[in-house]
Amino acid sequence: MCAAITARTAPLLLSKAFPQRCQNSLIASTSSLMKKSPPFVRKRGSSSVQTVSAKTPIMSPIRRKIVEQSTTSGQHAAQEFDYLLVLDFEATCSLYKIHPYQEIIEFPVAKVDTKTWSICSYFHHYVRPVANPTLSSFCTHLTGIIQEMVDDQPTIEEVLCSFDEWMKKEQILDSRFAFVTCGDWDLGVMLPSELQNKHLDMPSYFNRWINIKKSYCEHSGTWAKGLKDLLQIYGLQHAGRLHSGIDDVKTICSLTSAMAKEGYVFR
């Protein structure tokens, strides 16, 4: 057992402390998920936020002005963070059977350098589920992960230890960094609930993250329902298979670059 991941018997305690520079940011936390419309929506002087979908993409007046201004420079906006760690878990699931809790079966993270907007490193592991060791056919169909891909893999405890070693090797812990997800499920629900059920502590660096859907809402004044909608809006292609964790990560990386090129600063 590594020092970063320790077994425990007490209930999971999640930090409520925010760094000063993040208090007014879009960074969510496990202790304070944004359940209502974010504050910036009300500050725009609009009674509601438009919703866009992949079928009917629209460009709000706010984003249209941003795009017109950004096309002249063609440069990415300078960022507050040195690195964005783009993360997208896949987990056990079933169409009909209700599991006591879900378990992560794919753990992919990409390290994006915000100076070059290139992916400079990956961490990618498949994870062996313990409580629900047999994957359902629905899970395999959804994620593309078959039983043989997880049977001989390390458990979530072992993968988290490896991830902590990767963070240190990449010198991320000594830099300004932020996790980026497409939604609050990965770090707001999935990882905390699994670790709580397995009586494991969650490393504190997972307590805060940026939800790119909320970032896009601040950037454009419109709300995109999901990854496919964002791809449609930016005219981008998915990097592979939808619900493949590593392919979703690569795709979200492309979106962060596209938004930064329009002048957006992740915070």
Residue 90 bears catalytic tag? yes
| Residue type at position 163 | F
Residue 243 bears catalytic tag? yes
What gap in Å lies between CA 255 and CA 31, rounded to an integer?
Answer: 27
What gap in Å lies between CA 171 and CA 169, rounded to an integer?
Answer: 5
Q: Rounded to the nearest 5°, which phi and psi values hold at 159?
A: -65, -40
Q: Out of 157, 170, 238, 243, which one is annotated catalytic?
A: 243
Q: Out of 76, 90, 125, 219, which one is annotated catalytic?
A: 90
| Residue type at position 162 | S
What gap in Å lies between CA 79 and CA 85, rounded to an integer?
Answer: 14
Q: Rounded to the nearest 5°, which phi and psi values hold at 138?
A: -65, -45
Q: Are 138 and 102 in contact (CB under 8 A)?
A: no
Active-site annotation, residues:
90, 243
